[in-house]
Amino acid sequence: DQQVKQNSPSLSVQEGRISILNCDYTNSMFDYFLWYKKYPAEGPTFLISISSIKDKNEDGRFTVFLNKSAKHLSLHIVPSQPGDSAVYFCAASAVGGTASKLTFGTGTRLQVTL
């Protein structure tokens, strides 16, 4: 049972335009959400996170929006740049217990074209 879903395996966007990557989750216990970016042959790189007490978090060109009632979050990249071409993973965790264990989505491959 996939608790974190990224239903779009790929996305193509022109340079300078907005990229919107979506993620849905089913576990209502999740209260911390993260986005990671991954280049081939490298480890995932942390991009941005959001706590469930917020509905928006912004860091430069990256903004994450959280809609708790819909169990949906999205990552906006504005403006998109060719270097943003990578696979983006959404992840979620439930704070508490012995550690923050991340549950990942299957990823969305973003291609930013010139």
Q: Would you tell me which residues interact with other proteins (CB under 8 A)?
A: 4, 6, 32, 34, 36, 41-46, 49, 51, 89, 91, 93, 95-96, 98-107
For other proteins, the closer CB: 79 or 103: 103
CB of 15 to other proteins, least distance (A): 26
CB of 45 to other proteins, least distance (A): 7
CB burial readout 8-20, b (16+ within 10 A) else e: eeebebeeeeebb
Which amino acid, residue 36? Y
For other proteins, the closer CB: 19 or 36: 36
CB of 14 to other proteins, least distance (A): 27
For other proteins, the closer CB: 69 or 98: 98
For other proteins, the closer CB: 15 or 31: 31
The bridge status of strand 86-93 relative to strand 72-77 is unpaired
Q: Distances in Å between the alpha carbon of 75 and those of 1, 41, 58, 91, 97?
A: 23, 23, 10, 12, 28
